[in-house]
Amino acid sequence: MDCIFCKIIKGEIPSKKAYEDSYCYAFHDINPQAPTHILVVPKEHICCTDMINAENSVYVAKIFEAIPKIAAEAGLKNGYRVITNCGDDACQTVKHLHFHIMGGRKLPENMG
Ligand code: 5GP
Ligand code: ZN
């Protein structure tokens, strides 16, 4: 499968690692939209939120257990935003489920 994030997880494409456990991998976005912009991805290929189900939702739960650790490690003491884009209207560009963690400055109130 030709998936950029699967290749990043396998180390076939280099990335700046922020966190890793047996369920997820986190790395710094190549084109940051905030002073801190980290992506967290499940180690199983799930294309987007539409494909989350009872068999794979443990990956999502584990990601959300990891997010506070990742944010603390990144020094996001004053808060942060977690976003996932699903499908064309949300402008999802990489079809491997990922959660953006953004912070390091006051973010815009308007999200869409
Ligand atoms: P989406 O628009 O699908 O929600 O977000 C995809 C994100 O992946 C974008 O913020 C983009 O900058 C990031 N991205 C795409 N390709 C790469 C890559 O090869 N390395 C890293 N670190 N980030 C990437
Ligand atoms: Zn993938």
**Distance from C-alpha of 82 to C-alpha of 63, rounded to nearest angstrom:** 11
98 is a catalytic site residue: yes
Starting from the CA of residue 32, give the closest ligand. 1
Secondary structure tally for the chain: helices H, strands E: 2, 5
Report the separation in Å between the CA atom of 31 and the middle of ligand 1, taken as the mean of its atom positions. 7
Which residues lie closer than 8 Å to 86 by C-beta, 6 or more apart?
A: 48, 49, 50, 92
Report pLDDT digits (tens) over 75-89. Answer: 999 999 999 999 999
Q: pLDDT-derived band of residue 111, with 50, 70 and 90 as boundaries?
A: confident
**Distance from C-alpha of 28 to C-alpha of 53, rounded to nearest angstrom:** 27
Average pLDDT, the chain: 97
Tokens 């390091």 found at: 104
3-state secondary structure of 101: strand
Report pLDDT digits (tens) over 23-63. Answer: 999 999 999 999 999 999 999 999 999 999 999 999 999 99
Report the separation in Å between the CA atom of 12 and the middle of ligand 2, taken as the mean of its atom positions. 12
